[in-house]
Amino acid sequence: MTASTTQAALVLEDGRVFRGTGFGAVGETLGEAVFCTGMTGYQETLTDPSYHRQIVVATAPQIGNTGWNDEDNESVGPTGKQSESKIWVAGYAVRDPSRRVSNWRATGTLEGELERQQVVGIAGIDTRGLVRHLRTRGSMRAGIFSGAALADIEELTERVRTQPSMLGADLAAEVTASKAYTIEPAGGEARFTVAAIDLGIKTNTPRMFAERGIRVHVLPSTTSFDEVMALKPDGLFLSNGPGDPATADGAVQLTEAALGKGLPLFGICFGNQILGRALGRKTYKMKFGHRGMNVPVIEHGTGRIAITAQNHGFALEGEAGEEFDTPFGKAVVSHTCANDGVVEGVRLLSDRAFSVQYHPEAAAGPHDAAYLFDRFTGLLEGEAK
């Protein structure tokens, strides 16, 4: 019996059940149910380490038409090789899996890759109803069960409810590189060197630096400040990643040391929350988060609006344009979401450190925020002069 003919159920912790058929591996998986509004880029979503321990619900009705390829994975293996990349989501829920792959770059199918990597999914469910439920009730613990893993709903609900919550989850250590590796510039000698703390870094981020002539040392999340400085970096980068930022005390202490040293700093997503904590701000868990590639963000210093890719369920406290004192000088809430006012960026007024909540590496798209890599490069150039 194949997954597509196997009965399956997605069970939420509040007792709501969505029935469908198996998609990918058959079995059981647990995680936090969240939804992603991206209409494209499912391969980049599934391989993004920021989705670790989450069951992703696709809002686009048909998924899988472009298949799977060897080039679009957004994770690397423990030694930095893209060939070792993996799917990080805990599970995948879709409405209508494409019956045929039609893309010249495809090397396989989405369901085939889910099966190969033993990722349990479900298809044929009312994803629109599920998304409306999560928007109303908020992201919550969930499980997908198929085949022999199916049981009475009361028993399945109990399995779901006894799993750990995402609130308080310390997950960066579970997705970080096992050892440091280096990405060299795309061509010629390195203009600058950046130390990137891997809290769940995406493949395209070091590539964006490399295109600007920057050598990137990707370092495990447990790297000490002395180990960072031994590399003589021109700047520090804090990556995206999963889990509750309130648990990331080590990364916060590293950031505080870098700020005290005056090292130029750039952070994205989880890195934005880490910088915010180092500047004295608190974080909180959002009701259902921002996950997709169509989130409008206002940069208050310029009035510029960018359509951005996002994946976060936690955020920094603050108000648009708010200035506040820190041990490292005055800072400002530089960006907020145009939809709901959530903080999307902070920076020191000295401009030596800044961060954004979204994903300017744009994998998968849009490319509105790529200029932030140029901004950081300009900061490094100013330091060099």
Is residue 243 part of an annotated ligand binding site?
yes
Specify the DSSP class assigned to residue 51: G
310 is in an annotated binding site: no
Report the residue count for the chain.
385
Is 22 assigned a ligand-binding role in the annotation? no
DSSP 8-class letter at 89: B
What letter does residue 49 receive in the DSSP assignment?
G
**Cis link prior to 366 (omega < 30° from 0)?**
yes
- 192 assigned binding-site residue: no
Nearest Cα to Cα of residue 285 among 322, 242, 256: 242
Strands 54-58 and 28-36: parallel
273 is in an annotated binding site: yes
Beta strands in the chain (DSSP E): 7-12, 17-24, 28-36, 54-58, 62-63, 91-93, 96-97, 120-123, 140-146, 181-183, 192-198, 214-220, 235-238, 265-268, 283-299, 304-316, 323-324, 331-337, 343-348, 353-356
* Catalytic residue ranges: 269, 359, 361
- 241 marked as part of a ligand binding site: yes
- Report the phi/psi class of residue 16: left, alpha or beta, with left for phi > 0 and alpha for psi in -120 to 50: beta
The DSSP bridge pattern shows strands 214-220 and 181-183 to be: antiparallel
Per-residue tokens: 17: 């059940």
* Residue ranges of the binding site for L-glutamine: 50, 241, 243, 270, 273, 311, 313-314
